[in-house]
Amino acid sequence: MNILIALIPALGWGLNPLLLSKIGGKPVNQTLGTGMGALVVGLIVQLMFQPSVTTNVFLLSAVSGACWVMGQIGQYTAYAKMGVSTTMPISTGLQLIGTSVIGVLMFGEWSGMVAKLVGFAAIILMIIGVAMTAVTDSSESRAGLMSGLTVLVPTTIGYWAYSALPKAVSASSLSIFFPQMVGIFIGAILYVLLSGHASAFKDQTSWLNISAGAVFGVSALAYIFSAKANGVATAYVITQLSVVISTLGGMLVLGEAKSHREFRLTLIGLGLIVVGSIMTAFL
C-alpha cells in the first residue's frame, strides 16, 4: 500500500503535462486553470485535516506557491516552443541541480566531504543528462529549443524558491500545503491580470485545465503521505519516475517526433538524471 501511495505523485506529475497538452489553450489558460484546481484541493485538505497554521508560515508558504507559478509559466511556455518530451527532462534536471546547490549553500545539507563529493558527482551526471536530452538534429527543432530555453532557464528560479522557502519555517507539510495552494492561485490570478489576458477567465480551456491543477494538488498531497510512510528519500526517488512518464508520453502519446539518435540520447539522458537524483536523495 505504501508503494502505491508513492506511485500517485509519480503518475500524477508525469501525466500532468500530457493532460495539459491534450486540453490545450495558451500558457495563460493553463496557468489559470492550474491555480484554480490547486486551490480547490487545498481547501478540501484544510477542511479535512485542519492543521494549525501560523501567520508567518502562511505568508512564507504562500510566497513559495506564487514562486512555483513563475516556474510553471516558463514550463507551460516551453511546451509550446519545444514540446513536452524536450521540456520535462531539461526542466527537471535544472530543478534538481538548483535545489541541491541551494540545500548545500543555505541549509548545510550534504555535510562531510564524502557526501559533497558524491553530491557534486550527481550534479555533473544530471548536467550531462540534461545536455543529452537537449540534443536536436534539425535546424527547426534547434530554433524551438533555443526559444524555449530563453524562457525555461530563468523562470526555473521560481521552482528553486518554491522548494527552498518552506525549509525556512518549522512546520508540518500539511500546515504548509494549503498556504502554498493559495499562493499558487494568487500567483496565477496576478499573471493573468498583469499580462493583460483577463479574457482568460471566459475561455473554456481555462476551466477545463482545472483538472490539471487538481491532479497537481492531489499528487503533492500524496507525496506528503508517501514521505511519511516510506521516508523522504524513497518517496523522492519514486517521484522521479514522473520525468520518464512525461518524456516518453510526449513522444508516444502526443506524437512529438525525434530522430533515432535524438531518441537514444534522450533515453540515456533520462537515465543519468534519474541516477543523479537517486544519488542526492540518499545523501
Q: Across the chain, what does the average pLDDT equal?
A: 93
Rounded Cα distance between 114 and 62, Å, is 36
Rounded Cα distance between 25 and 23, Å, is 7
pLDDT at site 139: 79
pLDDT at site 170: 83
The DSSP letter of residue 199 is: G
Rounded Cα distance between 10 and 31, Å, is 21
Quickly list H helices, 24-138: 27-49, 55-82, 84-107, 113-133
What type of residue is 46?
Q
pLDDT at site 169: 83
Given the C-alpha cell 538534429, which residue does it identify?
Answer: 137
pLDDT at site 126: 95
Write the pLDDT tens digit of every residue in 207-223: 999 999 999 999 999 99
pLDDT at site 236: 85
Cα-Cα-Cα-Cα dihedral sign, residues 89, 95, 98, 100: negative
pLDDT in tens, the chain (283 residues): 788 898 999 999 999 999 999 999 999 999 999 999 999 999 999 999 999 999 999 999 999 999 999 999 999 999 999 999 999 999 999 999 999 999 999 888 888 999 999 999 999 999 999 999 999 888 778 889 999 999 999 999 999 999 999 888 888 999 999 999 999 999 999 999 999 999 999 999 999 999 999 999 999 999 999 988 888 778 888 998 899 999 999 999 999 989 999 999 999 999 999 999 999 988 8
Question: CA dist 124 to 25, 101, 102, 199, 241, Å?
Answer: 36, 12, 16, 44, 20
Rounded Cα distance between 261 and 263, Å, is 5
pLDDT at site 107: 87
Q: What are phi and psi of 35, to 5 degrees?
A: -60, -45
Q: What contacts 231, CB < 8 A, 6 or more positions away?
A: none
pLDDT at site 230: 84
Rounded Cα distance between 271 and 223, Å, is 22
| Domain encompassing residue 87 | 2-281
Number of structural domains the chain divides into: 1
Instruction: Answer for the pair 7, 238: CB distance below 8 angstroms, yes or no.
Output: yes
Instruction: Answer for the pair 60, 242: CB distance below 8 angstroms, yes or no.
Output: no
